[in-house]
Amino acid sequence: MSSIQSYFHELWGLTVEIAPYLLFGFLFAGLLRVYFPQRLLNKYMGKSSAAAAVNASLLGIPMPLCSCGVIPTGISLFRNGASRGSTNSFLISTPQTGVDSILVTYSMLGLPFAIIRPIVALVTGVSGGLLTNWFVKDKASKPLEGDLFTTTQSKTTKANKFSLMLNYAFITFLQDIMKWLIIGLLLAALVAVLIPDAFFERYIGNSFLEMLVILIASIPLYVCATASVPLAAVLLLKGLSPGAVLVFLMAGPATNAATMTVLWKTLGQKTTLIYLATIIGGALLFGLLINQLPALWFAIAGLGGAHEHQLLPAWLQLGSAILLLLLIANGYFQKYFKRSNLKMDNMNTAKQFTLFKVQGMDCNHCKNSVELNLIKLPEIQSVEADLQSQTVKIEGEQLNVEQIKSTVESLGYKFGGKI
């Protein structure tokens, strides 16, 4: 078999392996999005206490948010009443896991990793929150108004909840992660073809050195929790130690250069250093611990291998893979070929609208965070952000442009002024 054939064979095998669990994870994410009472977040995150840190981590672990979504969400929570400690707990624990990534981890890495990931996210999240409470003085919080996970204009009713759930699960949320999911699968297949078996055992041979190398590579780069799993599975098959794989699964989704910059500017130097130190320390500590566990617990036999959960019917795996590809194709169609009507609306309405350029909005959680925080400004009557054109349409008279700029930039986005 040629290298190209081998590559596409590995790529298809990874897609078939991941698809059923990924689709179920999307569906569960939709259920959380529509039926989970999101306003509880502020109720349980508003104090600088150990309980608030625990609550923030527990609330963040199942949330299907990766780094690009969790940063604006966490900053919005902080700006609207959450304490620094609970915000840090949320920011540390949330990107490491999610219902979708836990299910995919079970599919590709087995039950031990699927159990360990949320436990590590909880411990590191709580630890980061407690350290922040201890070393950083916090100001009194104020009540949160609105819903960080719902656009400012939408109203959910019982009649359309099911439709909203499906739309969020298989369009909105899928659009947020599909680019990184594709990149993760492509890289995993490439590593599977290019790197020989037992490569890490043969050329490194030291599990702690492996963890350090993976940590150094993971910290500045971005990879979402779900997309990191296929690559982690291939690295494990190539001889990387389970501890180093865990370091990759923790540090990859939770850290990147953009995240550090935004946190430094918004939450301050001490909080950011605690965030980074907690993730690095937790990754190395838990990596060392799981390397002491029986290696058999983390052994995987490759695609379609020996785990009993991989005995799903072939028709289900194949059908899920085809459906996933169709949904991704639809996601790109909806995102790039369904033209925005913002400028046309601006021309054909008697209302006073102003269009602003706002760069850096990468996902729907970014969009919602911008809308929710801008709508709080007194002179603004309505806000609509558009990801494709990187613009925000604001209705209101005598707008305070400097205040709008300050609000946008405090969330980590680049304000480009009026269009």
pLDDT in tens, 108-158: 899 999 999 999 999 999 999 999 999 987 654 444 444 444 444 444 455
Task: For residue 351, give the DSSP letter.
Answer: S
* pTM recorded for the entire structure: 0.76
CATH 3.30.230.10 given to domain 342-418: no
394 bridge partner residues: 354, 383
Using alpha carbons, select from 415, 386, 384 the residue that is nearest to residue 152: 384
Alpha carbons 374 and 300: distance in angstroms, whole number: 49
What residue segments make up the domains of the chain, in order of their start? 3-323, 342-418
What does the alpha-carbon distance between residue 254 and residue 225 come to, in Å, rounded to a whole number?
8
| Interval 17-64: pLDDT, tens | 888 988 888 888 788 777 765 566 656 776 778 888 998 899 889 887
Query: Residue type for 65, please?
Result: L
DSSP reduced 3-state for 95: coil
What is the Cα–Cα distance from 121 to 250, expressed in whole angstroms? 8
155 vs 360, which has greater pLDDT?
360
How far is residue 384's CA from residue 356's CA, in Å, rounded to a whole number? Answer: 10
CA 10, 12, 18, 20 torsion-angle sign: negative
At 151 the pLDDT is 43
